[in-house]
């Protein structure tokens, strides 16, 4: 790659990408969009246009990193979630489409309430807090994370989407430093189990603190579920993103602490278990 001459045109740049294993043309075009500042549609309609050498050089270097397996979102610094663009860095997990299901469940639950106090535990890049602020104008949201670097990314995203005035950011390990009560606790906790953590390629690039759920993947759930009753209103609800094979076990943990609540396991769009909901109100 080092010895390759710089691509002179957009078409040349896309050809360079075709020669690399595991790099799709969608990813290559996204890198070109990032390095040239031109829209994807413009690039595809102007393939013979010449490429600025500085942009071409940056493109080649990012392309090499992509071919090494570095995620596109970290190279461009952006990932779309629920129709909004979010800044991401190596300090935060890359937003996953499955998490949109978690947001949608909370929105369906809260949409008819006139006011709602929510806490997003382990906010990371802030996608859940910011999207909820956008979709629920009546919500006041506290977003917590144990990582100050992640909180800085989340704050930036809240400002970019004009949601910073309705989100309070707090450095806290789960709910340890948080003052409730809340109507809803929402969390995409780290839930990857120890053995999977060693074999999954994501952990090479993404922060371990955002993925590591302890030996059985459930450590963070146990801790948060134990804290939840003190931080919820008597009719408050809990919304947890889970791994596809954790539904039964997380529901059982919730049942121990909330024996009277209505507890459900809901699938994502792929049909895999993805969200556990705990509604105390339906049990009243």
Note the residues at the interface with ligand GLN (CB under 6 A).
96, 188-192, 202, 211
Q: Which is nearer to ligand GLN, 178 or 193 (CB)?
A: 193
Q: Which is nearer to ligand GLN, 105 or 189 (CB)?
A: 189
Tell me the closest approach of the beta carbon of residue 239 to ligand GLN, in angstroms.
13
Tell me the closest approach of the beta carbon of residue 96 to ligand GLN, in angstroms.
5
Tell me the closest approach of the beta carbon of residue 97 to ligand GLN, in angstroms.
10
| Helix 247-257 × helix 219-231 angle, to 10° | 30
Q: Which is nearer to ligand GLN, 190 or 247 (CB)?
A: 190
Sheet holding 182-187, edge to edge: 167-171, 139-145, 116-121, 182-187, 232-241, 273-279, 262-267
**Cα 29 to Cα 43, 50, 82, distances in angstroms:** 8, 15, 21
Tell me the closest approach of the beta carbon of residue 221 to ligand GLN, in angstroms.
10
Tell me the closest approach of the beta carbon of residue 203 to ligand GLN, in angstroms.
8
DSSP tag of 95: P
**Full DSSP string of 142-164:** EEEES-HHHHHHHHHHHHHTT-G
- H/E stretch holding 119: strand 116-121
Beta bridge partners of 85: 80
Q: Which is nearer to ligand GLN, 16 or 211 (CB)?
A: 211
Q: Are 143 and 166 in contact (CB under 8 A)?
A: no
Q: Which is nearer to ligand GLN, 47 or 204 (CB)?
A: 204
Tell me the closest approach of the beta carbon of residue 34 to ligand GLN, in angstroms.
23
Tell me the closest approach of the beta carbon of residue 152 to ligand GLN, in angstroms.
20
Please give the residue whose beta carbon sits closest to ligand GLN in the complex.
Answer: 191
Q: Pairing mode, if any, of strands 139-145 and 116-121?
A: parallel
- Structure-token pair, residue 254: 């919730």
Q: Which is nearer to ligand GLN, 96 or 249 (CB)?
A: 96
97-108 residues labelled b (16+ CB within 10 A) or e (exposed): ebbbbbbbbbbe
Tell me the closest approach of the beta carbon of residue 263 to ligand GLN, in angstroms.
20
Q: Which is nearer to ligand GLN, 134 or 241 (CB)?
A: 241
Q: Which is nearer to ligand GLN, 56 or 175 (CB)?
A: 175
- List helix spans (H) across the chain: 10-18, 25-36, 40-45, 53-67, 72-76, 99-110, 127-135, 148-160, 194-199, 202-205, 219-231, 247-257
Q: Which residue has the tokens 């801790």?
A: 223
């Amino acid at each position: 790659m080092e010895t390759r001459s710089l691509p002179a045109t957009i078409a040349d740049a896309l050809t360079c990408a075709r020669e690399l294993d595991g790099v799709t043309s969608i990813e290559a075009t996204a890198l070109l969009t990032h390095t040239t500042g031109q829209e994807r549609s413009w690039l595809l309609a102007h393939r013979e246009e010449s490429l600025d050498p500085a942009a071409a050089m940056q493109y080649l270097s990012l392309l090499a990193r992509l071919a090494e397996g570095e995620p596109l979102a970290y190279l461009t610094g952006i990932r779309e979630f629920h129709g909004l663009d979010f800044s991401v860095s190596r300090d935060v997990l890359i937003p996953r489409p499955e998490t949109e299901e978690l947001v949608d469940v909370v929105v369906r639950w809260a949409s008819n309430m006139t006011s709602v106090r929510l806490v997003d535990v382990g906010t990371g890049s802030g996608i859940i807090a910011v999207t909820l602020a956008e979709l629920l104008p009546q919500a006041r949201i506290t977003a917590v994370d144990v990582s100050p670097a992640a909180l800085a990314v989340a704050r930036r995203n809240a400002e970019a989407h004009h949601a910073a005035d309705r989100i309070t950011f707090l450095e806290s390990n789960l709910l340890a430093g948080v003052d409730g009560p809340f109507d809803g606790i929402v969390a995409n906790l780290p839930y990857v189990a120890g053995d999977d953590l060693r074999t999954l390629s994501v952990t090479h690039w993404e922060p371990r603190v955002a993925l590591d759920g302890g030996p059985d993947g459930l450590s963070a759930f146990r801790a948060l579920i134990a804290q939840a009753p003190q931080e919820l209103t008597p009719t408050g609800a809990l919304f947890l993103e889970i791994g596809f094979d954790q539904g039964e076990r997380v529901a059982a943990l919730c049942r121990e602490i909330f024996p009277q609540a209505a507890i459900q396991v809901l699938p994502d769009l792929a049909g895999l278990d993805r969200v556990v909901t705990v509604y105390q109100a339906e049990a009243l």
